[in-house]
Structures are given as C-alpha cells and as structure tokens.
Structure 1
Amino acid sequence: MIWNTMMGTSILSIPWGIKQAGFTSGIILILLMGILTLYCCYRVVKSRQMIPLTDTSNWEFPDVCKYYFGSFGQWSSLLFSMVSLVGAMVVYWVLMSNFLFNTGKFIYNFVHDINVTDIVPGTNGSNKVICPGAASDQPPQNRSVMFSSGNRTGFELFEQWWDKSQTVPFYLIAVLLPLLNLKSPSFFAKFNVLGTVSVVYLVFLVTVKAAHLGIHLEFNWFTENEFFVPEFRILFPQLTGVLTLAFFIHNCVITLLQNNKNQENNVRDLSIAYFLVGLTYLYVGVIIFASFPSPPLSKECIEQNFLDNFPSDDIMSFVARMFLLFQMMTVYPLLGYLARVQLLRQFFGNAYPSLFHVLILNLAIVGAGVAMARFYPNIGGIIRYSGATCGLAFVFVYPSLIYMISLHRAGQLTWPALIIHIFIILLGLANLIAQFLL
C-alpha cells in the first residue's frame, strides 16, 4: 500500500534528474536520499509515541505539530501540506495534457492513415528515440511535416485545435472540474490498482526499450563532450529536489500504517516499502539513462518526462500514456478531495460548506494547473520546487525538531543527536535554496 501510494509522477523525471546530477552521483544521491527520507519518515511514525500522558491514537502528524508548536505548527503544517497536494495536482494537469495530446495525435494519424515524419533529431528504426528539445533550434523550414496520404488542410486544422499548450489543457476542464465538485470521490478510490499496473508497465517498457537500444555509457568524471555528461555535475540539487517529492509520504504515513493489523511491524513494512520504491527509481532511471542512444544523440536530450523521448506513433509509449492518463484522471479528484478537506475544514469546520465554496477552491486549483500547462509545462521544475518546499517542513524540519524537543523534555538529548538533527535541518534548507540558484 505504501509503495503504491508513494510511486507517482516523479518516476517520469528520475532519468532527467540523473542527467542533471551525473550518472554516478545520481545513483549515489538516490540511495542517500532514500535512506535520509526513510529515517525522517520513521521519526514521523514514532512522533506520537513520544508524547506522554496523552491519547494520540487518532492523531495525524499535523496534530503532533500543533501539540509542539501551537497554532504556528497547525497552520504551517496545513500550508506545506497544501503545497504538496496542489503541486502534485499541477504536475498531474501538465502530464494529463501531455498524454491527452499525444494520444489524440496517435489516434488521428492512425484513423486518417497519415504517415507523419517530424524533422526532429532522432535515431532510425522501429525503436526510434527523439530529441524534442533540439526541434526548437531548427529553422522553421526544417520543422516541416511530410504526408504520405491525407488532407494537408485537415491536418493543419487539427494541429490548430489540438495543441499541447494552447488548447488541450483547457479541454480537460470539461471532464475534471465537475468531478472535483463531487462530495465524495470514493468511486475513484476503486481504481487505485491502476497505479500499480501503470508502474509495472513502465518498468516493462523500459526493459524492452533497453533490450533493443543497448547500453551507451562513457565515464568522464568532470569533463563533458558532445554526447555524454560528466559523472558529477553542479546541477545535482535538481535531482535532490525531485527525490524529496519522489520519497515524500510523510504527511499521510501515519494514516496508512493505521490499517496494519500488526502495528509492531510498522517500521519493517515502512523500510521494505522505501527499499522497493528506491529500487524502482534506480532501475528506471539507470536503464533509461544508460540505454539512451548517445551517439547519435546526446544525453542532454533526455526529457523531464522520459516518455517524450519516444515519438507519438510509438505503440508501447502510446499504451503507457493511455494507462497513465486514465490513472491520473481517477487520482486527480482524490487529491482535490484531500486538499478540500484539509483547507475548508480548517477554515469553515466543514469539508463541504457549500457548492460555491468548493467551486471557488476548485477553480483556483484547476486554474493553476492550466496556467502551468500553458506557460511552464516543465514537470521536473514543478516537482523539484514543490518537493523541496513541502519537504523542508515535513521531511527535514518538523520530524527533527519534534524529536529533539521530546528528548530534551525527557532529559535524554545528547550532543550527537543534537548535531545530527540540526545537520538534517540544514540539508533541507540548503536543498530548498539550491532549487532557486541552479
């Protein structure tokens, strides 16, 4: 359950993050961030048990924050929880726009028997890999499209009304805004298994593609050439920002573990879940990076969503996009419900005070998603900014501060524990600051 909940959209950006950090340093960072976030999550799970003479069996982590930090802890935990939820919903909107655009493009070309050859740098053959970022560097006359059949005017009209950033993000409003206004989205919770199916299929896709493409690696620690990036790059904090959200489950881990029949196994189950998540991220990130064909392409071509490195007419990528699109359209209302419950209940004492209140909140959330899909469709950037921001509070600061305060009150705080946990807080702060500097 924890593995299924934690595995999300971040998996699509892990190969890009490894590119930004460098291959070897990227692997090391995934391992270190997995261990660090697991420890901080362990501290969250144990935080209720360190409160004496109080029944905390029904408490969530924000309740623990309120106990230690008063109203500041209550409202700040709400703020950072909203950042994580709305950030995830914005990423979902950008990705759903991407998947819907490519799915529609595939279906249109197939139905109208159009053979489209985009003049985009890429490999040849049935397992083509492309470099979309290089297309913008081509002069307009080279970004042409050749047709073996079909009506050119009809295709141009389709492209005008089916644009990834200009139109498709707005089409989603008609489907998703009504779903967000439902009082209870429990129907969509039944599709939770789709998350597992999607991840398993992505692993399968990555494995098949790598088997066809082979391994393309060249190890250079600090020098960069035309096709490869160094093993260590100063841009590595971009990966740590992505990983903070990729390993983020701290604001709901207590709720998830309450369903365990054997509560004494919570730490074991949590550790196994983090191990499986880290292993999945490592596998997908390493295989995509290592098999990316360079030469003829450069590793710099790896996109923030690695599926964008496969053309829209690739069958396996089309199936992956369909899986992910349907999964995200069922998870999105659930995220909106969580955001509504946390925010409106805090302000009005009711998760559904009126349709007007709910509609205003949902319009703001949907508007943020549409704006990002329209003007800043960079999921890697959105993930690392939101991850580093909410992670500062829920991953690094609050668990460490609460642990130090509880030890101090019990007269058990030692210098090593104090230094280690202050260092963890400083790491979280440095992680956030670095996102805006690099």
Structure 2
Amino acid sequence: MYKMIQLPTFQDLIRNYKLTIKNRTDEESDCDPIVSSASSAYDYGACNSGIFGHDFSTASEDETVKTTVTVSRYPSQDANRQVLTSFVNVYEKLKGVTSANLGERFNKIAELGRNKFEDTFLIGIETSGKASSWETLHNFPICQQEEHTTHSIVTIFAIWNTTMGSSLLAMAWGVVRTGFFPAVIIMLAISGLCLYTTHVLLSVNKKHGIISSNFEVPELCRLLLGKWAEVMARIFSMIVLIGADIVYWILMSNFLYNFVSFVYDAFHGNSTEEMTNAVLCPKNIVLNLNTTYVFNPSMENSTFYNIWDLYSTVPVILAVIMFPLLNFKSPTFFTKFNSLGTISVTYLLIFVAIKSFSWGPHMQSWSEEWTLKATFPSLTGMLSMSYFIHNIIITIMRHNRHQEKNGRDLTIAFSLITFTYLFIGVVFYVGFPLAKTCIEDNLLNNFSKRDTLTLISRLLLLFQLFTVFPLITYMLRQDILTNLNGIFKLDSTFGYTKIMCINFVVVLTCIMFACFLPRIGTLIRYTGALSGLVYIFLLPSLLQMASLKKDDRLTAPKAIFYCCIIVIGSLNLFSQFFISDTQ
C-alpha cells in the first residue's frame, strides 16, 4: 500500500529524535502527565499523537513496523536516493549521541540541515520486519502539517473573546485615573504596540518555529535565546494565570455577596432601603468597607450581615463551593460554556449603553479633560493585561485556515478589542452622573443590588466565572506540574493528593487577596505591567533581534528601536510603584 507522507523540516526531524532518546533515557519517569494522554494530545491538535500514546511507546520498540512508500516531488529517483543518502549520512553523525549531549549538538546539526535542504520534501522507502533506528526516525509522523480548519471570522472572535476579561469592568476607572482624552490616546497607542509585538512573535515563529501543536513562545525563546529565556517565559505565564485567578475570585465573591444579599433583603422586607435605580458613590457613602451596599447603619449589626461579610466570610464560603470543581482530572466539561464569554461581553456592552444613554452626557468642562493626570500608569499597567494574548497567540493563529491572512485577521481582532474597551470606558465615563472620582474599579459597584440590569449582569458574570475559574486553575496547575517535573524530575502522574495540595494553595492565595486586598484595579495593573514587560515588550524584541542577527540584518537603528520598546515596558512597570490608588 502506497501512501503520501510529507516530512517536515529537518529541524523537526532532529527534534523528534531528541525526544526519542529522551524517552529511552527516562523509562522510569512518569509517562502519563495530566494532559499527555493520546486523547488529550489529539484534542489539542497534537501531531505527535502517533508517537506519544498512553505509554509513551515508540515505533522502535514495536516488534513489527511497516513503513510506507511515498512518492517524491522530485522528478527523478536518483534525486530521491541522493536526499535519502544525505539524511542517512547525517543520521550516522548522530550515532553515539546521548540525551546528555544531544542538546549541544542539536543546533549545529539542525543548522546544517536547514542550509542544505529545502523546508519540506517527500521521500519513501519500503520495508517490513523490525524497524531500524533510521527507519523509526524516518517513519514517525512527528509533525505533519497541521490542518488549518478555523475560518478567519472564528479566529478573530477567538482572539477577541480570549482578551475580554475583568479589565472590562475597570476600564472606566482607568479613564478616571488618566483623564478623558489622554486615556483615549493611550488606549490606541498601547493597542498598536501590543498588535505590533504580537505580529513580531508570529513572524519570528513562522521563520524559526517548529511545526508542532505545543510549540509556543517558551520553546521559541529556547531555540533563539537560550534556556534562561524559556524559564522566564514559563514563570511569567504562570504569573498571569495566578493573577487572573485572584481577580476572578474577588469578582466571584462580590457577585455572590450581592446576589445573596438581594435575596435576603427581598425575603426580609429590606427592599425599601435602597432605590432600585440608584447610582452609588461608595467612597463618600461608606466609611466601613464591610457595609458597602448597606444604606441603613443599623443593618450592619444584624446577625446575617455579621456572618455574610464580603471581606471575611464570603471568600471562604465561596471556597467551599468552588474547591470540589477544581479537582477534576480534565476540565472538558467547563469548556462547553466558553460561549458565555461572548454573551457576557455583549450584555455588558448593552448594559453600559442603556445606562449611559439614560443618564445623558455629564461632562463639566471638556477643556480639563485634556490634562494628563499623574496616576495615568494605572491605565497603562491595566492595558498591558487587557491586550495580553502573547503567550497563546501562536497556537490560536496556527489553526487559521488562511495563513496568508494572519496579519489581517490579527489587526481586525485588535481593532475589535480596542473598540470594546473604548466603548465601555469612554461611554460610561461620559454618562456617569456623579463625580467621576466615584467610579469604582468594578463599575457594577456603582449600582444598587436591586437594579434589575445590574442583577442580571452579576448573575451572568458569576456563572461565567464559575466555569472559567476551573479552566484557568487547571492551566496553572498543569504549568506548575510540568515545570516541577522538568526541574526536579518528579512523578507527573495524576494523583488527587498533589492536585488537591496545589489547588489548596491557589485557593488560599485567592482568599487572602479577597480579604485583605480586594482591589481588582490594583491587581490588574501590577500583574499586567509585570507580565507585560516580559511577554509584550521584552521577549518579542529580543526574539526579533536574535532573528535579524542570524540573518545578518540587525542594524543599529533597528536595535535602538527594539531597545526603546523594552524601555517603555520597564518604565510601565516601575511607575506602578510610585502611584497610589487613593490619589
């Protein structure tokens, strides 16, 4: 039986051989990571599922292996034999290479292959019986060209939906901290810069990346910059995840608190104590944070509100509800609710539009809105988190059906993201009827818990976060276990004991922040500035300079330009320590 098999780049071939040797060396290590089953690899689009099954067995370990004949795209059989002979010669150079020294020789051999052969080719042999090492290496379907099945419109909305997070609720607060017109300019500038650095990552990956479903920025950093850059990328990717978990926990506690309080007041005759359509200014009304939505001072002494406290008991009660959902081996069930993200964002846009248009414009002096406030880094740090998609953009764009239109689709997606943030922040800011300083970092806090539209928003967002939080925690847990296994060679089999320990630490961290630092604006700006420095400003610039240097195209003006991008990210981070949220 003859069948066409397209072999990928020579660098991919050597990479797979490296994995094969590593498998033989680490036979006693765990072979069933949390998401490394064959089904999981297939679900995530892995092209290596034929290599890494449940037991990490390889074709070289099988008793019989049948290799198929392929038809070459080269016109002559002599050319085929010449290509095959050349690869056999390179394979001979690999004899005696162990997992210890393969890493040192890998780049030299891969570079030799990159210069000597075309990127893709077809070769074929026919044999039966026990496969030799070369035949095993040849016949692995290591990284066959992945199918690009996602339409452009799906890719665009995938990027949009992924970036829409908790910063939506804090965008108007960021405008307050910056000034109206400077905020608009900064939003557009940061959006353009993030779009550019994202495009840089895609360009560098297209030129130097390896065709693989799990090849992302950390692997690209290791290839071009070294192990230190890979470690940095992985660490700050985890920082983004734990930051998202903390912010989501604070929001879930807030939404749960307000919903239960609404139900309690409705059943106990306290509904007249708040106006349904009231616009609140918690900074002026409330001196005690624990009484944030309570107008009647006597109510704070009631037994219910002594127990049901937003900054002490509610985060703990939420942990009792949420913790069992975090211990599933696979979060597949929660992925079924991904569409809720689009629904929630769409509803929030409608909510802000209805409220703002019902209020009408409330701007005292347009000329004063041109002043750039000293606290503007609050917005720049927050926007670094708002536009953050750099750690998964390669995976998202890899599945785009029209690869030649990646740049266009990415630009459209960022334009849509920018419009969404501008609409939420600007429209709410212009229409807000009270003093602009009353706007909270969670804009829903400016409304009564009895407001119908606000109640729907909180319930919708609460349910969405209930499904998103386990997914984020799962990815964080996976990264932690993967990194620990890589550093300490630990057993990475799924075990409820270690999973529960990791989840306990994550939940405990979230509870501590929800009780003692429940300011999502502060958390978003610090997390965004820190992780943004690495993923948005530093790594894309270093990767681009490394790529240009390999091609002898790195000039002084280009180096200065990319260094300026790094300086911008550094200033964005350092400025966060010189401003206060009470200013």
Give the structure-1-normalised TM-score: 0.90
Matches within 5 A, 1:136-215: 136-137=286-287, 145-146=295-296, 156-215=302-361
C-alpha contact (below 8 Å) 2:300/2:306 kept by paired residues: no
Distance in 2 between the 1:21 and 1:422 partners? 26
Residues 16 and 302, structure 1, Cα contact 8 Å, conserved in 2: yes
Aligned match for 2:264, one of 104, 108, 123: 108
Q: Determine the structure 2 residue equivalent to 1:11.
A: 168
3-state SS, counterpart of residue 248 of structure 1: coil
Residue 518 of structure 2 aligns to a residue whose secondary structure is coil
The letter of the residue matching 2:184 is I
| 2:463 aligned with 1:326 | yes
Change (3 A) 1:437 1:144: closer
| 303-312 vs 259-268, greater mean Cα deviation | 259-268
SS at match of 1:191: coil
Once the two structures are superposed, the pairs formed by residues 124-139 of structure 1 within 5 Å of their partners are: 127-137=277-287
Q: Describe the shift of the 1:144–1:372 C-alpha distance in structure 2 as closer, same or farther (beyond 3 A).
A: closer
Secondary structure of the residue aligned to 2:226 is helix
Change in CA separation of 1:146 and 1:433 when aligned onto 2, cut-off 3 Å: closer
Partners of 1:404 and 1:413 within 8 A in 2? yes
RMSD, aligned α-carbons: 2.3
Deviation digits for residues 63-121 of structure 1 (CA, Å, limit 9, x no counterpart): 01111232211211111001000000000000000000011111111233322536xxx
Displacement, 1:302? Answer: 0.5
What is the aligned partner in structure 2 of residue 2 from structure 1? 159
Q: Residue 261 of structure 1 aligns with which residue?
A: 401
Distance in structure 1 (CA, Å) of the matches to 2:492 and 2:351? 40
Structure 2 unmatched ranges of 5 or more: 1-157
CA shift, 1:417, in A, is 1.7
**Contact persistence 2:362–2:431 (CA under 8 A):** yes
Q: What does residue 189 of structure 2 align with?
A: 32
The equivalent residue for 1:428 is 569
Aligned to 2:536: 395
Q: Structure 2 CA distance, aligned partners of 1:88 and 1:382?
A: 9
**Aligned equivalents of 1:176 and 1:381: distance in 2?**
24
**Is residue 2:429 matched to residue 1:308?**
no
Instruction: Write the distance in 2 (CA, Å) between the matches of 1:10 and 1:173.
Output: 23
SS in 1 for 2:271: coil
CA gap 1:163/1:57 in 2 versus in 1, 3 angstroms: closer
Native 8 Å contact 1:127 1:212 kept in 2 = no
Measure the CA separation in 2 of the matches of 1:207 and 1:431.
31
Q: Flag the 1:144–1:408 CA change in 2: closer, same or farther, 3 A.
A: closer
DSSP 3-state at the match of 1:74 = helix
Cα-to-partner distance string for 1:212-264 (whole Å, 9 max, x where unaligned): 11101133656xxxxxx773201111100000000000001111112212222
What code does the residue aligned with 1:320 have? S
- Please point out which of 203, 220, 238 is paired with 1:46: 203
Q: Deviations over 1:304-353 (max 9, x none)?
A: 10110011111100100000000001000100111111120122267654
Q: Distance in 2 between matches of 1:58 and 1:159?
A: 49
Instruction: Read off the aligned partner of 2:162 and give its amino acid letter.
Output: T
Flag the structure with larger Rg: 2
Identity of aligned residues (%): 38
Q: Is the 8 A contact 2:299 2:305 kept in 1?
A: no
- Matching residue's letter, 1:205: F
Distance 2:412 2:263 in 1: 41
Alpha-carbon spacing, 1:45–1:435, altered in 2? closer, same or farther (3 Å):
same
AA aligned to 1:107 is: V
The one-letter code of the counterpart of 1:305 is: N
Q: Which residue type is aligned with residue 10 of structure 1? A: S
Alignment partners' CA distance in 2, 1:355 and 1:322: 31
Q: Can you list the C-alpha shifts for 1:8-30, whole angstroms capped at 9, x where unaligned?
A: 11100100000000011011111
Aligned partners of 2:382 and 2:528 also within 8 Å:
yes
Which of the two has greater helix per residue? Answer: 1
In 2, the alpha carbon distance for the partners of 1:261 and 1:423 equals: 35
C-alpha distance in structure 1 between counterparts of 2:211 and 2:299, whole Å: 70
Distance (whole Å) between structure 2 residues aligned to residue 310 and residue 94 of structure 1: 17
8 A Cα contact 1:183 1:352, kept in partner: no
Is 1:346 aligned to 2:483, yes or no? yes
- Find the counterpart in structure 2 of residue 122 from structure 1: none
Q: Which has the higher relative contact order, 1 or 2, with Cα contacts under 8 A spaced 6 or more apart?
A: 1
CA contact (8 A) 2:276 2:448 kept: no
Aligned-residue offset at 1:146: 4.7
Is the 1:78–1:343 Cα contact (8 Å) retained in structure 2? Answer: no
2-side partners of 1:277 and 1:154: how far apart?
41
Higher deviation after alignment, 125-134 or 13-22: 125-134
Instruction: Give the alignment partner of residue 362 of structure 1, picking from 494, 498, 503.
Output: 503
- Cα offsets for 1:126-163 (capped at 9, x unmatched): 5321101112349x99x97559xxxx889812111211
**Matched residue pairs, number?**
416
Return the letter of the residue paired with 1:258. R
C-alpha distance in 1, partners of 2:538/2:218? 13
Q: Structure 1: how far apart are the matches of 2:492 and 2:470?
A: 14
Unaligned 5+ segments in structure 1 are 119-124, 223-228
Q: 1:179 to 1:155 in 2, by over 3 A?
A: same
Against the structure 1 CA distance between its residues 240 and 352, is the aligned structure 2 distance closer, same or farther, given a 3 Å change threshold? farther
Q: Give the conservation status (yes or no) of the 8 Å contact 2:276–2:450.
A: no
Quick one: distance in 2 between partners of 1:429 and 1:261?
36
Secondary structure of 2:382's aligned partner: helix
Is 1:61 aligned to residue 217 of structure 2? Answer: yes
Q: CA separation in 2, counterparts of 1:106 and 1:351?
A: 45
CA contact (8 A) 2:255 2:459 kept: yes
Partner of 1:337: 474
Return the match for 1:23 from 180, 203, 226.
180
Which 10-residue stretch deviates more, 68-77 or 187-196? Answer: 68-77
Amino acid at match of 2:420: T
Question: Which residue type is aligned with residue 277 of structure 1?
Answer: I
TM-score, normalised by the number of residues in structure 2: 0.68
